[in-house]
Amino acid sequence: MKELHGTASVSVTASAQECFELLIAVEDYPRWYPDTVNEVRVTERSSEDHPVRARAKLHIAYGPLVRDFDLSLAIGAQQPHEVTLTRVPHDADDPERFEVAWTIGHGTITVALEASLSVPRLLPVGGIADEMANGFAHAAARALSRSR
């Protein structure tokens, strides 16, 4: 298992509520970050109509690592400051983890990516989490600037 940790922050002119609305609408991620998020299908919603469960297909390409992930996600939110996407394990013995945690501040959005993935031992993955976090953050900032 490889442990991956990455963070990125970007400045935005959108309000915290506009940021929250973009980030909680997980079914729209393929529209604004198609390089990595191929598909998201919401499978369960809260009484406030926010997604709480979803299926997602991610494509990761970093140096020699090219891998597609089919994930079941739990979506957590604290409006309007936080959205968290957490991989749901297949079973109790499933050691892989994947989490994307968005924090919405005053004029910034920050994304932290944490993962524990089964990849070949000698495969160099240093920097992949920071690059992925950076890609997510900048894609979100572009989507927010287009919506204004």
Cα separation of 137 and 146, whole Å? 14
* Domain spans of the chain, in order of start: 2-146
Question: Taking the model in full, what pTM does it have?
Answer: 0.91
Fold for 2-146, please state it. Alpha-D-Glucose-1,6-Bisphosphate; Chain A, domain 4 (3.30.530)
Under the banding of pLDDT at 50, 70 and 90, the label for residue 63 is: confident
99 pairs with which residues across the strands?
A: 86, 114
Cα separation of 78 and 118, whole Å? 31
Which pLDDT tens digit goes with each residue over 67-111?
898 999 999 999 999 999 999 998 888 888 999 999 999 999 999
